[in-house]
Amino acid sequence: MSEDDERQQSLPSDIEFISNKARNCNATGSGSGHPEFQSAYPDQVLENVLENVLHFLTSKRDRNAASLVCKSWYRVEALTRYELFIGNCYAVSPVRATTRFTGVRAFHLKGKPRFADFNLMPPDWGAHFNPWALAMAKAYPWLEKVHLKRMSVTDDDLATLAGLFVGFKELVLVCCDGFGTSGLAIFVNKCRQLRVLDLIESEVIDDETDWISCFPEGESHLESFIFDCVECHINFEALEKLVARSPSLKKLRLNRHVSIGQLYRLMIRAPQLTHLGTGSFSHSEIAGQGDQEPDYVNAFVACKSLVCLSGFREIVPDYMPVIYPVCANLTSLNFSYANITAEQLKPVISKCHKLRIFSVLDSICDEGLQAVAATCKELCELRVFPVDAREDSDGPVSDVGLQAISEGCRKLQSILYFCQRMTNAAVIAMSKNCPDLVVFRLCIMGRHRADHVTGEPMDDGFGAIVMNCKKLTRLAVSGLLTDKAFDYIGRHGKLLRTLSVAFAGNSDMGLKYVLQGCPQLQKLEIRDSPFGDAALCSGLHHYYNMRFLWMSSCSLTRHGCQEIARAMPHLVVEVIRSADEEMDDDIEILYMYRSLEESRTDAPRFVTIL
């Protein structure tokens, strides 16, 4: 089941009926095999043809469309879907998913809502991978890939993945938690075919297990090994040996406990790397002062295929020049953990003509962004993070930097920009200079901050973005915003799928404009805005088409949410409160999502499902 499946016409009863038929079809689930001719289907030949044709259909949206054509297409599509994407782990049960799709080899699953990342929700809310792991163990013995985002994964789950799926090749965990180094140890040890182990922005418990040593001996199939988020010390000798026996290794991202000297040793063993996360990029504390410095420049020169560079977790700016040899080939550079100045950035960025993806800290100031704009004409994605993430911190980047980027980087498609000062003029300029924008996320960190030159709300700026950027699908707004901004969004944001709102709007009208105006809206997350029950009710026509709605610290009441829950049986309406608060009429957090199931049974006590 994927995000676009749930139209109002596909009620559970249809799916149950069709699932039964699929079971009777006696298919093995393999795309290339033919179902046995047990039951006499009149269009069996047509189904075989269809099966072979659908084999080539990979986009999940295309597949969803194909599955709606007729029952026969539905059945065959279900047999041939190898890659299953579930955008909300509670929208469908593991049993239902594994019953419908019998041939899955790659599985994507997302759990917690994004605002949970910012401590807006107590931990232990849910999104446990365990029931999925068990269901898949039964249904998909040939499973190869699992991608999880914001899920709770335990050490046992990792053991299950490694132990029960013989051909398991690829594990990607993004923003996950609940597991530790002992789970990793078991996983890497048992997974003999492992090609990809990517731990991205996940919290890994330090059980003080030397998991790197647990990779099996002999040649490894590793192609991608990303563990930059793992905060534990690692056994470097074991890592060095592992890299030495991984001839296919292309992507390696080290954590900050790997010093630059150790990085050198790894690089000379793996000159075939295309993606490198450099670790700390400084000396370890115990490095000898008088030791001969290795020839770092040569190590980088040797990595002729390097296109993506990241890490620099504790960068010593003196070492920056060693990366000059690879700059000209870089398409992706992540300096977002490197507290460097504009002067330190310039010699690097001026060489990065092919750069398409760039992340950086605002320590480079507007001047640094001007340097980026001057060179990086191919830039598609830009993320500017704050060194000091507080509302009242100094703001080294501003409208000046944004304006410069808009003028220099005309191909920009995605931007995330944290600042303290912004003007409508700069945002409007970006909307005109960068018409290809698909993602526009501007975070003015001071709440309710107006245009710092005119004193106006930021309505017109964001209005221009939705008007001029016709491909826009994701928008995050901030600053002082009135209902007018939402009027613009509702009128012009016709392709908008994700909208994030914080401390904005004046009245229910704001939310109404959006819910009534944006037909493609899938994910709406709102905090601290004056939207109430009436606004919530104005979206009833649309909620089954959305993945979720999050509203926290708004003006909702229990009564209003109850009305929604009553009106929409396939919507799970969760009211979440801080663990120590008692349930009262005002709602702290509303999280609601469509689901084919009854409300979940694993909800903690601070969650009430209406």
- Residue whose CB is less far from another protein, 21 or 257: 257
The angle formed by the CA atoms of residues 121, 122 and 126, to the nearest 5 degrees, is 90
Q: State yes or no: residue 421 binds another protein (CB under 8 A).
A: yes
Q: State yes or no: residue 333 binds another protein (CB under 8 A).
A: no
Taking CB under 8 A as the criterion, the residue among 554, 561, 607, 610 binding another protein is: 554
- Residue whose CB is less far from another protein, 287 or 297: 287
Q: Which of residues 568-587 bind another protein (CB under 8 A)?
A: 578, 581
**Distance in Å from the first CA to the final CA of the chain:** 24
Taking CB under 8 A as the criterion, the residue among 100, 449, 492, 600 binding another protein is: 449
Kindly report the backbone phi and psi dihedral angles of residue 125, in degrees, each rounded to the nearest multiple of 5, phi listed first.
-70, -35
In the complex, least distance from residue 230 CB atom to another protein, rounded to whole angstroms: 11
Q: State yes or no: residue 389 binds another protein (CB under 8 A).
A: yes
Calculate the CA 236 to chain-centre distance. Answer: 30
How far apart are the C-alpha atoms of 171 and 197, rounded to whole Å? Answer: 5
In the complex, least distance from residue 223 CB atom to another protein, rounded to whole angstroms: 26
C-alpha Rg value of the chain to the nearest Å: 26
**Segment (H or E) for 382:** strand 381-385
Written as one letter, the residue type at 444 is I
Taking CB under 8 A as the criterion, the residue among 83, 156, 203, 436 binding another protein is: 203
Q: State yes or no: residue 503 binds another protein (CB under 8 A).
A: yes
Candidate segments 64-72, 103-111, 335-343, 542-550, binder of another protein by CB under 8 A:
335-343
- What percent of the chain is helix, strand and coil (3-state, nearest 5)? 35, 20, 45
Q: State yes or no: residue 396 binds another protein (CB under 8 A).
A: no
Taking CB under 8 A as the criterion, the residue among 119, 289, 292, 601 binding another protein is: 119
Written as one letter, the residue type at 382 is L
Answer for the pair 424, 451: CB distance below 8 angstroms, yes or no: yes
User: Residues touching another protein: how many (CB under 8 A)?
Assistant: 60
DSSP 447-495: TT---TTT---SHHHHHHHHHH-TT--EEE--SS--HHHHHHHHHH-TT
In the shown chain, the binding pattern of residues 235 to 274 toward another protein, with x for contact by CB under 8 A and - for none, equals ---------------------x------------------
Burial class, 164, CB count within 10 angstroms (exposed 0-12 / middle 13-18 / buried 19+): middle
In the complex, least distance from residue 407 CB atom to another protein, rounded to whole angstroms: 23
- Helical ranges in 270-320 per DSSP H: 296-302
Could you tell me which of 276, 229, 337 has the C-alpha nearest to residue 268? 276
In the complex, least distance from residue 409 CB atom to another protein, rounded to whole angstroms: 23
Q: State yes or no: residue 491 binds another protein (CB under 8 A).
A: no
Distances (CA, A) of 537 to 7, 87, 541, 565: 19, 24, 9, 11
Q: Which of residues 1-60 bind another protein (CB under 8 A)?
A: none
Contact positions vs another protein (CB under 8 A): 115, 117-120, 201, 203, 229, 256, 313-315, 336-337, 339, 361, 385-387, 389-394, 418, 420-421, 443, 445-450, 452, 455-457, 480, 482-484, 487, 502-503, 506-507, 509, 527-530, 552-555, 578, 581, 588
